[in-house]
Structure formats: structure tokens, C-alpha cells
């Protein structure tokens, strides 16, 4: 396929069946390969839509500085678009994210400001909001509350899924900014009666969450619980195990958040099979495994990999 | 077989430090009552008059019971129930 430029090639990703992991001919799993985007993650869709909208709204004069709290993929996507469009990019990133992400951001010319590991992405959001208040000329696109993030999925990911899988019964994606779930979820609900929208939420160890008061939890502004049908909480151990199963059984080398989504998809599949119901379950492969090699997620035993992952953000 | 219930660190004072305990019942409510008979006070930390406490999440085979049926959610031998303090949001 031919495109006028890299940005024109965002989206249009393959949807591939998983014949070995699907439990029966009536209960089938489908992987949407979002690692086939220009910078290798689903976030290219949101980054492109958010910058396009900000330009339309006159928020980004030539040479403007973009600021964003991100644990990696969104920053990399924004840095690529910013580079091509002539903007300066600053990412606020938890210090416990992988080395590959930092190197990629540096390659695209982005500046990284580290936020404390304790508190994870929530702390990065707080630090970025403080920086934005101190620098009124910086533009924070703010993926957690930017309607263009969810709209990217409403206008592209959702229609692609429906075109490739008209018989879709379930859509599963990770719960981060909630942009993918809200955008695809709204689109599918408008077109597929009874479709189930399933969130897969990473469950980190207590090293990441620390002993924070539970009511400090952060809810993205994009999040509308009425779009969701159900929600799974997936431990690091299960996410790792499923990431490896996906590679071993189906040949797909994905990042660890994909294992999280696959775990929820398999949970749905098991319930559908037990109930004797037909199901076509599509889930998002948010990125490939390349950026996580240094975490040791793919080497040694599962127990060793889990121990190495303790205290790291993997989604 | 029984139902395995995983307990977060902050509630292990009720389970003599055990990370997981076993119980039985046909619904989540029955299971929690059964647990409370051996781990007195645990139920009150999870449930108030109107149902599950606001800052507690309970998962049945990793699925949030608030989306299933709350305290009335059916449970069965071989299931795993996970109790967690509620922390919203993820990371991207």
C-alpha cells in the first residue's frame, strides 16, 4: 500500500485470528495489531488526532512547545508527529519506565522530565499539571481528557474492527487513558446490538502503588463507565504469562500490556464456551515487545521475569 | 475444592498474615459471611449497609464483581476471589 507520508499511514492495521488460543470454532479470538503503526504503538492514532485538532483550534503556533505526561508510547508518538510538524516536545515520565522508551524519545528529539516512581502515571500527571501552570505558553494536549484521543478510535479503530469482523461480540482493550475503550466502545455500541466492551486493567504490585491512600485514585476525564460492560484486573504474573503464550502459540511478539488484554479476552472466551454461546472477541495488541526487552520479561522462568518486573510500569 | 480468596496486605491482620484463605458459599455474600466466621471483622472491612465499600474492589476470576452482580454474584468451587484496595486509572 502506498501513502504520501508516514503520517498518512497511521491506522489500517491487520486483524488476525488466533486459531490456537481460541477455545473452539464458535468462540474465536482476534488480535488487532496496533504495533503496525508508524512508531509501533496504538498511540499514533491519538497523537495524530490530538495534534491535528490542536492545530485546527489555533493552539499550536509554529515552534510551539508540547508538554505531556506519558509512560512512553504516547510520548514517542507525539515526539514523532512534533518532529515532522516542527514543535518542541517535553514528556513527563515516571522514572521506573524502560530504557528503550527514553532512548526512542531522545532520538525523536524530545526532552524527558522524570517524575517519582512511587505514584506511577498518576504522579506524572500531577507533575505535568504543575509544569503547565508554571509555563502558560506550553501546550499540554493531555491525553487523559482530550476528546480527540477517544475520537481517533471512534473514527478509525472502531470502523476498521466492524469492517473486518461484522460478527464481533466483544471488544477488549487496556484501561489507561480509556481513549481506546471509549472511542471504539461508543462506535461499536451504535452499530452492534449487544456488543460487550471489556476493560483490562493492569494490577501492579504494592511497590508501584505503595501504601497510598486508596481514595487518591485518579480517574481520567475521558472515562465514562456506562460505555463498559465489564472490567478485568490482571496481575503482572498473568500479563507476563499471556504475553509469552501469545508468542509461543501464535507467533505474536507483543508488549506486556497485550498480555493483560489477552488474559481478559481468554476469561471472556472461557465464560462464553461454558455458557455455550458464540463469541468473536477482538482485543488490542497495543505495541510490540521490543521496548520491553531490557525488562527481562521474555527471558528465564516466569517467576524470574515477574521478580524483575516488580516495581516497573508495564502498561 | 473450595473458593480461594486473596487478601491484600492491609487486611492480613484479619487472616493471621495469610495471603490467601479458603471459604465456601453460593454467592459472594455467603462466601464473605463464611470467611467472617473464621476471620472475625474481615467482612466489615469489605461491606457496609448498602453493599461493597466504596474503596474496596473485589474480583471473581479477575473480573470486577461490581459489573457482575455485586454481593449477589454467584461463586463456585474452583473460583478465585481477589480483594484489593480500589485504585482507579492505569498508565499510558
Q: How far is CA A123 from CA A127, A309, B90, in A?
A: 6, 19, 11
CB contact under 8 A, A230 and B59: no
Distance CA(B32)–CA(B16), nearest Å, equals 17
pLDDT score at B40: 95
pLDDT score at B49: 83
Distance CA(A305)–CA(A310), nearest Å, equals 9
A299 and A243 in contact (C-beta within 8 Å)?
no
How many Cβ pairs within 8 Å bridge chains A and B?
80
Residues 6+ positions from A28 with CB-CB distance below 8 Å:
A17, A18, A22, A279, A280, A281
Q: Of A140, A175, A193, which residue sits at a domain end?
A: A140
Distance CA(A175)–CA(A157), nearest Å, equals 16
Which chain B residues contact residue A72 at CB under 8 A?
A: 92
Domain that holds residue A255: 6-36+155-309
A313 and A208 in contact (C-beta within 8 Å)?
yes
pLDDT score at B89: 40
pLDDT tens for A178-204 read: 999 999 999 999 999 999 999 999 887
Which candidate in A121, A236, A257, A291 is catalytic? Answer: A257
Find the closest chain A residue to B63 by CA distance.
Answer: A232
Average pLDDT, integer, range B67-85: 94
pLDDT score at A123: 86
What is the count of structural domains for chain A? 2
**Is residue A98 annotated as a catalytic residue, yes or no?**
no
Distance CA(A264)–CA(A246), nearest Å, equals 13
pLDDT at residue A238 is higher than 50: yes
Strands B80-85 and B56-60, by their bridges, are antiparallel
CB contact under 8 A, B57 and A315: no
Q: Chain B neighbours among A 105-124 (CB < 8 Å)?
A: 120-122, 124
**Is residue A43 annotated as a catalytic residue, yes or no?**
yes
pLDDT score at A311: 66
Q: Chain B residues contacting A, CB < 8 Å?
A: 8-10, 55, 57, 59, 61-64, 66-68, 82, 84-92
**A57 three-state secondary structure:** coil
Q: In terms of Cα–Cα distance, which of B40, B48, B35, B44 is closest to B81?
A: B35
Distance CA(B91)–CA(A261), nearest Å, equals 14
Average pLDDT, integer, range A256-260: 95
Which cell goes with A191?
452499530
The DSSP secondary-structure symbol of A227 reads G
Q: How far is CA B5 from CA A123, A201, B32, in A?
A: 31, 19, 9
CB contact under 8 A, A264 and B62: yes
Residues A27, A51 within the same domain: no
pLDDT score at A210: 41
Q: In terms of Cα–Cα distance, which of A57, A62, A59 is closest to A82?
A: A62
Q: In terms of Cα–Cα distance, which of A259, A261, A279 is closest to A168?
A: A279
Which chain A residues contact residue B57 at CB under 8 A?
A: 233
Which candidate in A22, A43, A121, A236 is catalytic? Answer: A43
CB contact under 8 A, B63 and A232: yes
Q: In terms of Cα–Cα distance, which of B66, B19, B13, B75 is closest to B44?
A: B13
CB nearest to A176's CB, from B59, B86, B90: B90
Burial of residue A166, with CB atoms counted within 10 A of its CB: 0-12 exposed, 13-18 middle, 19 or more buried: exposed
In this complex, is the C-beta atom of A206 within 8 Å of any C-beta atom belonging to chain B? Answer: yes
Which chain A residues contact residue B59 at CB under 8 A?
A: 232-233
Which chain B residues contact residue A177 at CB under 8 A?
A: 92
Residues A111, A222 within the same domain: no
Fold of B3-85: Ubiquitin-like (UB roll) (3.10.20)
> Terminus-to-terminus CA distance in chain B, angstroms?
39
Residues A133, A17 within the same domain: no
Residues A163, A262 within the same domain: yes
Where helices occur in chain A by DSSP H, the ranges are 43-56, 73-85, 99-107, 120-134, 147-152, 158-164, 179-191, 206-209, 236-250, 256-274, 302-309
| Interface mutation vs chain B, best among A229, A233, A262, most B CBs within 10 Å | A233
Residues A117, A240 within the same domain: no
Which cell goes with B40?
472475625
- Bin A78: left if φ > 0, else alpha if -120 < ψ < 50, else beta: alpha
Whether A303 is covered by a domain: the verdict is yes
Residues A18, A105 within the same domain: no
CB contact under 8 A, B92 and A120: no
Q: How far is CA A77 from CA A101, A105, A288, in A?
A: 11, 9, 14
pLDDT score at B91: 35
CATH number, domain containing residue A97:
3.40.50.1100
- Bin A171: left if φ > 0, else alpha if -120 < ψ < 50, else beta: beta
Percent of chain A scored above 90 by pLDDT? 76
pLDDT tens for B42-54 read: 999 999 987 999 8
Which chain B residues contact residue A71 at CB under 8 A?
A: 91-92
CB contact under 8 A, A121 and B89: yes
| ipTM exceeding 0.90, yes/no | no
Minimal CA separation from A75 to chain B, in Å: 9
Q: Of A140, A173, A192, which residue sits at a domain end?
A: A140
Could you tell me the residue ranges of all domains in chain B? Answer: 3-85
Whether A148 is covered by a domain: the verdict is no
pLDDT at residue A75 is higher than 70: yes
Residues A97, A229 within the same domain: no
Distance CA(B85)–CA(B8), nearest Å, equals 8
pLDDT tens for A274-302 read: 999 999 999 999 999 998 898 888 988 98
Average pLDDT, integer, range A79-106: 91
CB contact under 8 A, A233 and B57: yes
Lowest mean pLDDT among A163-172, B35-44, B47-56: B47-56
Average pLDDT, integer, range A10-35: 98
Sheet of A65-69, strands arranged across: A111-115, A88-94, A65-69, A139-140
Cα dihedral A45, A46, A47, A51, rounded to 10, equals 110
Amino acid at each position: 500500500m502506498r501513502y504520501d507520508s508516514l503520517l498518512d499511514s497511521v491506522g489500517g492495521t491487520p486483524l488476525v485470528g488466533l486459531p490456537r488460543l481460541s477455545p473452539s470454532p464458535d468462540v474465536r479470538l482476534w488480535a488487532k495489531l496496533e504495533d503496525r503503526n508508524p512508531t509501533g504503538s496504538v498511540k499514533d492514532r491519538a497523537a495524530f488526532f490530538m495534534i491535528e485538532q490542536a492545530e485546527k483550534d489555533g493552539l499550536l503556533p509554529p515552534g510551539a512547545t508540547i508538554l505531556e505526561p506519558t509512560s512512553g508510547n504516547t510520548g514517542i508518538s507525539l515526539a514523532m508527529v512534533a518532529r515532522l510538524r516542527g514543535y518542541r516536545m517535553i514528556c513527563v515520565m515516571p522514572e521506573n519506565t524502560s530504557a528503550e522508551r527514553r532512548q526512542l524519545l531522545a532520538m525523536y528529539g524530545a526532552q524527558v522530565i522524570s517524575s517519582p516512581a512511587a505514584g506511577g502515571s498518576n504522579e506524572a500527571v500531577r507533575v505535568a499539571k504543575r509544569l503547565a501552570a508554571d509555563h502558560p505558553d506550553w501546550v499540554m494536549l493531555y491525553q487523559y481528557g482530550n476528546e480527540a484521543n477517544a475520537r481517533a478510535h471512534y473514527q478509525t479503530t472502531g470502523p476498521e474492527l466492524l469492517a473486518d469482523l461484522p460478527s464481533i461480540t466483544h471488544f477488549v482493550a487496556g484501561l489507561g487513558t480509556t481513549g481506546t475503550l471509549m472511542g471504539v466502545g461508543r462506535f461499536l455500541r451504535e452499530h452492534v446490538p449487544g456488543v460487550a466492551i471489556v476493560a483490562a486493567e493492569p494490577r501492579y504490585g504494592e511497590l508501584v502503588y505503595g501504601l497510598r491512600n486508596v481514595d487518591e485514585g485518579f480517574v481520567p476525564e475521558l472515562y465514562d463507565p456506562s460505555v463498559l460492560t465489564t472490567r478485568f484486573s490482571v496481575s503482572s504474573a498473568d500479563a507476563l504469562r499471556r504475553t509469552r503464550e501469545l508468542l509461543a502459540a501464535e507467533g505474536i511478539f507483543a508488549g506486556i500490556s497485550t498480555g493483560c488484554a489477552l488474559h481478559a479476552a481468554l476469561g471472556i472466551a472461557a465464560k462464553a464456551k461454558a455458557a455455550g454461546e458464540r463469541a468473536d472477541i477482538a482485543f488490542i495488541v497495543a505495541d510490540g515487545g521490543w521496548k520491553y526487552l531490557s525488562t527481562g520479561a521474555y527471558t528465564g522462568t516466569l517467576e524470574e521475569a515477574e521478580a524483575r518486573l516488580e516495581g516497573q510500569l508495564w502498561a | 475444592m473450595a473458593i480461594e480468596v486473596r487478601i491484600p496486605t492491609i487486611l492480613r491482620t484479619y487472616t493471621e498474615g495469610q495471603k490467601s484463605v479458603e471459604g465456601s458459599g453460593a454467592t459472594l455474600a455467603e462466601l464473605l459471611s463464611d470467611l467472617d466466621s473464621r476471620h472475625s471483622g474481615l467482612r466489615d472491612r469489605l461491606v457496609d449497609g448498602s453493599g461493597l465499600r466504596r474503596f474496596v474492589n473485589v474480583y471473581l476470576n479477575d473480573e470486577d464483581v461490581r459489573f457482575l452482580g455485586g454481593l449477589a454474584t454467584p461463586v463456585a468451587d474452583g473460583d478465585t476471589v481477589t480483594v484489593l484496595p480500589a485504585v482507579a486509572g492505569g498508565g499510558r
